[in-house]
Amino acid sequence: MTETHLHGPVLILGTGLLGASVGLGLSRQGVDVLLSDPSPTAEAIAQDIGAGRILGGGEHDVAALQPQLVVVAAPPDVAAAVVADALRTYPEATVVDIASVKASILAALRQAADAGEIAPEDLSRYVGTHPMAGREKSGPAAARGELFTAMPWVVCAHADASPAAVRTAADLGADLGATVVRMDAAEHDAAVALVSHFPQIASSLLASRLMNAPAHALSLAGNGLRDTTRIAASDPRLWIQILSHNAPEVVKILHGLREDLNRLIATLEDPGAEGALLDLAKLMEEGNAGQARIPGKHGSPPRAFAVVTVIVDDRPGQIARLLADVGEAGVNLEDLRMDHSSGHQVGMVEISVLPGRSEELTQYLSDRQWKVIQ
């Protein structure tokens, strides 16, 4: 059992996907975790999977509990109210929230302090955080203790936060195996609008175009469509709250998208006009340049990998055998993609490797009778 920074007890308010995952990750390291949720069913499931013990259901009395840390895993529209209640109820505890927007929650808490609903000094014990991790599935049954491993855990310390509270918030991310990143609330909201909220909108809008598409058209779909619509399967109830709470930052990006769309529409309405094809080329090149800036493996600078494509028969054990052969070749697999060939009992496996190793791997696999596309 690895040594943790937190000693507990840790109280988690909200046992959905993220809250239960936090509980699982800490409980597996021996931290005492208590759970509370408005839904008795969600509480029970979280307890059953090992995320902690239901508050009030064991040795800890609710009134007597003095947690080291309270983790508010509530949706954005109620997170500030739950944080304020936790600050009042547990006067010695650091309180963090893990909602995906930060500025609106901090603003609501400042208003609560100004209105006398919480003591101004209580704000020193609050720190906003945001784990950049999740799944398309929701609820405690989808929780994973390793959900945050190697993922960014953003700590948004405000001006009045105490150093001890900020340290505790960072310790939570570290104990869950995440990479702690520090930003202020406004900077965070602008960043996630671009890298998380806008992609969700784009994916959902694209997927909505498929609702009335003929079946014969969808039968031609490949990995490109699957990749770009994967997150469209996310919980719409949660995204309604996220987008409404971060609307100002999202709207800025949508205005830019509207300009690009208007430019593209004007070009395609008359593709034979002078300069039209050049404008299309520039638009695609801008996309290439932006995509190339996305950090690569382990957050390292992006790098171009060579792709070795292998035809694999659609029968049990083939993928496992292929991966075993790649390992025996001594070539590190940087990325892997699979696609099925429509109408045929075969698939294509794209293996990304360092450019200097592609010819070696191609030869090795060919010698073992794999069908490698040259």
Query: For residues 350 and 23, which has the higher predicted lDDT (pLDDT)?
Result: 23
Question: DSSP label at 67?
Answer: -
Please report which confidence band the pLDDT of residue 221 belongs to, taking 50, 70 and 90 as the band edges: confident
pTM across the whole model: 0.82
Q: Which residue has the higher pLDDT, 187 or 335?
A: 187
**285 has pLDDT over 60:** yes
For 131, the enclosing helix (H) or strand (E) is: strand 126-131
Q: Quick check: 142 pLDDT over 60?
A: yes
Nearest to 26 by CA among 177, 189, 212: 177
Please, which pLDDT band fits residue 137 given cuts at 50, 70 and 90? confident
Q: What is the pLDDT of residue 347?
A: 81
Between the alpha carbon of residue 312 and those of residues 226, 321, 342, the distances in Å are 20, 10, 14
| 81-85, 294-298, 335-339, 370-374: least confident range | 294-298
Query: Cα(229)–Cα(310) distance, rounded to whole angstroms?
Result: 25
Whether the predicted pLDDT of 3 surpasses 80:
no
How do residues 50-103 score in pLDDT, each as one tens digit? Answer: 999 999 755 555 556 899 999 999 999 999 999 999 999 999 999 999 999 999
* Angstrom distances, CA of residue 183 to CA of 111, 123, 155: 22, 18, 6
Closest by Cα among 362, 334, 338 to 350: 338
Q: Report which DSSP code applies to 304.
A: P
- Mean pLDDT taken over the chain: 91
Q: List % helix, strand, coil for the chain (3-state, nearest 5).
A: 50, 15, 35
Whole-angstrom Cα distance, residue 208 to residue 217? 15
β-strand partners of 129 = 155
Given CA atoms 129, 236, 224, 227 in this order, what sign does their dihedral have?
Answer: positive
pLDDT reported for residue 47: 96
Backbone phi, psi, residue 94, to 5°: -75, 135
Please, which pLDDT band fits residue 302 given cuts at 50, 70 and 90?
low
What are the CA-CA distances from residue 175 to residues 116, 146, 167, 189 (Å)? Answer: 35, 11, 12, 24
Q: Give yes or no for residue 343 having a pLDDT over 70.
A: no
Say which range, 38-42, 159-163, 293-297, 328-332, has the weakest mean pLDDT. Answer: 293-297
* Rounded Cα–Cα distance for residues 93 and 95 (Å): 6
What SS3 class is residue 35?
A: strand
